[in-house]
């Protein structure tokens, strides 16, 4: 049935909307969300570097794009003087799928074409989820984190922002200090290894946090707020649930390069953030593009 349909393609040039005789005939069917026939034909012509002419052997092809479980799939049926063939391509992006299909068709029409230079895929992810900090705050501190990731493959850039819940620290003499981190953030450069649904990365991260200390029932600390600046390694993993949703697990260790020292009015120490700290987060990620 397929071979008979392809064979008929060679006879429909006159009704295809292109001036006859054209040895290259293409039927392309795709959902509205994907590139349509006129654009595909134009890009195929551009990829060949010339408008198909009467030179060479006749070539007929049919492409059928359909929604798949994890994105899109296209079945390419071709018919040349050498025989018929079928090839199936898949991709999470219909645009990228169409780009790959055009390349396959162009190379089938003209095997002497040079393949285009490899374009590294790029994507942007937004993430949100719970996090915990250990070491910098008096006790393990739960909080909330958000992250923007620009994936340039194999390198990615992470920009994160978050907050931690307030804690109460009791010092000698019954004096107490309430410690909070209203905002913290970081920038990381990561390099990773990618499998089909798993991405594991090692990163170098620079982090900054604003600490606020308030005394209870006594003089306010001499320094009411201050910044902590730290740097260190980070390890993170992304597990794809679908082509657009993933889970990200993050763990890091950092050493403080700058940290505030909170003192009571009598110069006794109220609290100082830890020199070495760590943390972790479990985030749900959404692919923007």
Assign 12 a pLDDT band (cuts: 50, 70, 90).
very low
How far apart CA 271 and CA 261 sit, in angstroms, is: 6
For residue 58, the SS3 value is: coil
What's domain 2-109's superfamily in CATH?
Ribosome hibernation promotion factor-like (3.30.160.100)
For residue 13, the SS3 value is: helix
User: How many residues in the chain?
Assistant: 289
The domain segmentation of the chain, as residue ranges, is 2-109, 123-287
Q: Strands, E, within the chain: which ranges?
A: 24-29, 59-68, 71-80, 83-91, 123-134, 141-151, 155-170, 176-194, 198-216, 225-240, 245-258, 262-263, 269-271, 276-287
How far apart CA 131 and CA 164 sit, in angstroms, is: 8
Assign 223 a pLDDT band (cuts: 50, 70, 90).
low
Over residues 49-65, the mean pLDDT reads 72
Tokens, residue 202: 């090692």
8 compared with 267, residue with greater pLDDT: 267
Question: So what's the pLDDT on residue 65?
Answer: 94
For residue 116, pLDDT over 80 is answered with no
> Residue 64 contacts by C-beta under 8 Å, 6 or more apart in sequence?
29, 30, 74, 75
Burial class (CB in 10 A: 0-12, 13-18, 19+), 79: buried
**Arithmetic mean of pLDDT over the chain:** 84
From the CB of residue 111, how many other CB atoms can be counted at a distance below 10 Å?
7
Assign 144 a pLDDT band (cuts: 50, 70, 90).
very high
Question: So what's the pLDDT on residue 107?
Answer: 85
Cβ atoms of 252 and 278 within 8 Å: the answer is: yes
Assign 248 a pLDDT band (cuts: 50, 70, 90).
very high
Assign 93 a pLDDT band (cuts: 50, 70, 90).
confident
Beta bridge partners of 93: none
Question: So what's the pLDDT on residue 174?
Answer: 76
For residue 145, pLDDT over 70 is answered with yes
Question: So what's the pLDDT on residue 222?
Answer: 65
How far apart CA 56 and CA 104 sit, in angstroms, is: 18
Question: So what's the pLDDT on residue 112?
Answer: 80
User: CATH fold of 123-287, please?
Assistant: Porin (2.40.160)
For residue 83, pLDDT over 60 is answered with yes
Residue 212, CB-side half-sphere exposure with 13 Å CA sphere: 10
* Among candidate residues 120, 184, 121, the one with its CA nearest the CA of residue 147: 184
Q: Is the pTM of this model over 0.85?
A: no
Cis bond leading into 21, ω under 30°?
yes
Ranked by mean pLDDT, the top range of 32-41, 63-72, 139-148 is: 139-148
Assign 117 a pLDDT band (cuts: 50, 70, 90).
low
Beta-sheet pairing, 59-68 with 24-29? parallel
Q: Which of 56-65, 179-188, 255-264, 273-282 has the lowest mean pLDDT?
A: 56-65
Percent of the chain with pLDDT over 70: 85
Do the domains spanning 2-109 and 123-287 agree at the CATH topology level? Answer: no
């Amino acid at each position: 049935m397929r071979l008979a349909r392809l064979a008929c393609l060679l006879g429909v040039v006159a009704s295809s909307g292109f001036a006859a005789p054209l040895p290259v005939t293409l039927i392309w069917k795709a959902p509205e969300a994907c590139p349509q026939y006129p654009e595909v034909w134009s890009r195929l012509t551009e990829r060949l570097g010339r408008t198909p002419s009467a030179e060479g052997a006749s070539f007929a092809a049919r492409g059928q794009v359909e929604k798949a479980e994890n994105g899109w799939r296209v079945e390419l049926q071709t018919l040349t003087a050498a025989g018929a063939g079928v090839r199936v391509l898949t991709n999470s992006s219909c645009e990228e799928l169409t780009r790959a299909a055009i390349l396959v068709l162009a190379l089938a029409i003209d095997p002497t074409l040079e393949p285009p230079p490899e374009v590294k895929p790029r994507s942007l992810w937004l993430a949100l989820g719970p996090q915990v900090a250990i070491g910098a705050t008096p006790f393990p501190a739960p909080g909330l984190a958000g992250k923007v990731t620009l994936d340039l493959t194999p390198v990615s850039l992470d920009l994160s922002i978050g907050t931690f819940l307030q804690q109460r620290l009791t010092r000698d003499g019954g004096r107490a200090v309430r410690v909070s981190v209203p905002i913290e953030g970081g920038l990381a450069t990561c390099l990773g290894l990618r499998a089909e649904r798993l991405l594991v990365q090692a990163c170098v991260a620079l982090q900054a946090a604003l600490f606020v200390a308030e005394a209870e029932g006594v003089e306010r600390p001499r320094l009411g707020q201050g910044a902590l600046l730290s740097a260190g390694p980070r390890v993170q993993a992304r597990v794809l649930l679908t082509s657009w949703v993933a889970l990200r697990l993050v763990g890091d260790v950092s050493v403080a390069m700058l940290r505030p020292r909170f003192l009571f009015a009598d110069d006794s120490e109220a609290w100082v953030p830890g020199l070495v700290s760590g943390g972790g987060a479990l985030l749900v990620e959404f692919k923007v593009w």
